[in-house]
Amino acid sequence: MNTTKRLIHLLIGPLLYLLAWLLGAQFHLTDATSAKGIGVALWMIYWWVTRPVNITVTALLPGIVNALFNIVPMEDVISQYASSSIVLIFGSCLLTAPWAKIGLDKRISLKALSLIGPSMKSQIAVWLLSAAVLSNMMPNVVVVAIFTPIAVSMLAAAGYKDIKNCEPAVPILCAIAWGSQLGGAGTPLGGAMNITAISFIEEYTGKEFMYIDWIARMLPYTIIVTLIILLVMLLRPMNVTSLSGTKEYFDTCYKELGPMKRDEKISLVLFIVAMLGSFLRPLYADLLPGLVPAYLFLLLGCLNFFIIGMDKNMLLDWDNAQKEVMWGMLLLFAGGLALGQILTGSGANDAIAGIISTLPLNKGLVTIAIFALFAAVISEMTNSTVSAAVTLPIAIGVTQKMGLNPIPYVFTVAMAMNYESLLPVSVRAISVGYGLDPDKLLKSALPLTILRLIIAILVGYITMMIWPGFGTL
């Protein structure tokens, strides 16, 4: 982006804020405070889409703008940057931080792929399903970051070294990215967007949200959409139907790792305990009320700083932690929560909900489709964490104004926002960074994006209609 274009985008952001503030009050669409909240959202969304600065820098705007214009109490905004949700992601990063050093990330990936066949259909199926399964255990961005270089190395071993012009690279790298997002919807551990959704659910209900409730409600959608997307990918015509040497490549790579070492076993056990502890939280919630998943992950992650590894050093030291923790993702996630706090605290959500509620909405398919489409568009333009922060408070506010139970709509919006496939931003940037052509990404993804959105709308609507417990926590 040249300097002039960047300057224009930089100026349009605050200009949108000022216009929302002045025009909203001028035309009596809302009061001045609510108009400021809407202005912050417009400013952030515009910068997230046009990216005159890094999207992580944009995530700092709520604190900066609120300090200047005093929209809501400052402690309400700043506290979002150190919320329990941030602690959960930080603890998860600490748990997986030693994996690269001790080789556990490669072992898990290669084990999952060691039985892969040479046909392109086998390639697509194994990459997509492996990414989907692993994304149930860790953030989807981590899964894509682990799988993509392995896939690129495999293609190189098969004679395809120019990834940008490599035809088999498109379905394989897309299967990784799409599979990670399909699986990421299935559990709260799939990504920051799900933790964001849980934060809003807890704020609405006023009680702790059990992770098993998320799995139970999202499982039908996750299974259905994964199988349909896989089927469509397998039915697509392929000029290259088989690769050479892939099974041998994975077998050789896995054997080179040797038997699982002590450090890998310890790190894997810590992670499994964290996952099981999160999902089995109802069993010990009364005994240990303070040990919610966020602090369980933090506790177990911090143990890495005290366990001596086979090299006589700690499994994790602070220097490595600083390199491995995804600080940008933490800030981006926190910025989304802070924006949600401004939208809620300023009354902007109520104002937007009031405007939307005047539309001819009903309790069924039309309302769900509008929320789902809005969430999907924001996810594609930015990422699903931003989409969760922007769309969920509005969905909750609108449904409350309509006298509806917001919970089923929150889960349906979560289905819609948990998929990003069109533009080379967010998770998709990893695949593009390794050589995937952005134009080919867009062309391949567009029909599946539309199909996936339709599935989310239908599954959300049907589930809400036939399952009374879908909206009960």
Q: DSSP string covering 213-236, please?
A: HHHHHHHHHHHHHHHHHHHHHHHS
Residue 416 token pair: 């819609």
DSSP secondary structure of 98-143: THHHHTHHHHHHHHHHTT--SBHHHHHHHHHHHHHHHTTTS-HHHH
Q: For 391-414, what is the mean pLDDT?
A: 87
Rounded to whole angstroms, the maximal C-alpha distance in the chain is: 70
| 169 lies in the same domain as 180 | yes
Residue 76 token pair: 């309400």
Q: What is the mean pLDDT of the chain?
A: 83
The residue ranking higher by pLDDT, 177 or 471, is 177
119, β-bridge pairs: 242
- Quick: pLDDT tens for 54-112: 878 888 999 999 999 999 999 989 988 888 777 877 887 888 888 878 888 778 767 76
Q: pLDDT grade, residue 14 (50/70/90)?
A: very high
The residue ranking higher by pLDDT, 358 or 418, is 418
Q: Which of 24, 56, 71 is the last residue of a domain?
A: 71
| 49 lies in the same domain as 133 | no
Residue of 233, 223, 221 whose CA lies nearest to 457: 221
| 313 lies in the same domain as 459 | yes
Amino acid at 15: L
Q: Residues 6 or more apart from 24 whose CB is under 8 A from it?
A: 30, 32, 34, 35, 38, 39
The pLDDT score that the predictor gives to residue 450 is 92
The pLDDT score that the predictor gives to residue 244 is 66
Q: Residues 6 or more apart from 1 whose CB is under 8 A from it?
A: 9, 51, 52
The pLDDT score that the predictor gives to residue 243 is 73
The pLDDT score that the predictor gives to residue 69 is 92
Residue of 175, 166, 143, 185 whose CA lies nearest to 444: 175
Give me the percent of the chain exceeding a pLDDT of 90: 20
8 A C-beta contact, residue 420 and residue 427: yes
Q: Which of 47, 71, 95 is the last residue of a domain?
A: 71
Helical segments of 346-383, H only = 348-357, 365-381
Residue of 218, 141, 211 whose CA lies nearest to 180: 141
| 60 lies in the same domain as 203 | no
Residue of 117, 77, 375, 98 whose CA lies nearest to 249: 117
The total domain count for the chain is 2
Residue of 379, 327, 352, 385 whose CA lies nearest to 40: 352
| 267 lies in the same domain as 334 | yes
| 85 lies in the same domain as 28 | no
The pLDDT score that the predictor gives to residue 74 is 94
| 92 lies in the same domain as 9 | no
The residue ranking higher by pLDDT, 142 or 343, is 343
| 205 lies in the same domain as 269 | yes
Answer yes or no: is pLDDT of 430 > 80.
no
d(CA 310, CA 348) in angstroms, rounded, equals 55
8 A C-beta contact, residue 202 and residue 174: no
- Quote the domain boundaries for residue 60: 1-71
Q: What count of other Cβ atoms lies within 10 Å of the Cβ of residue 403?
A: 8
| 56 lies in the same domain as 83 | no
Q: What is the DSSP letter of 165?
A: G
| 258 lies in the same domain as 175 | yes
Q: pLDDT grade, residue 49 (50/70/90)?
A: confident
Q: Which of 71, 93, 122 is the last residue of a domain?
A: 71
Counting beta carbons within 10 angstroms of the beta carbon of residue 32, is it exposed (0 to 12), middle (13 to 18) or buried (19 or more)?
middle
d(CA 432, CA 339) in angstroms, rounded, equals 29
Which range among 24-28, 295-299, 338-342, 376-380 shows the weakest confidence by mean pLDDT? 24-28
| 102 lies in the same domain as 59 | no
Q: For 454-473, what is the mean pLDDT?
A: 87
Side-chain-side CA neighbours of residue 430 (13 Å): 22
Counting beta carbons within 10 angstroms of the beta carbon of residue 188, is it exposed (0 to 12), middle (13 to 18) or buried (19 or more)?
buried
Residue 418 token pair: 């948990």
| 93 lies in the same domain as 55 | no
- Quick: pLDDT tens for 264-305: 999 989 988 887 887 777 788 888 888 888 888 899 999 999
d(CA 122, CA 43) in angstroms, rounded, equals 45
The residue ranking higher by pLDDT, 361 or 209, is 209
Give me the percent of the chain exceeding a pLDDT of 70: 88
pTM given for the model: 0.66
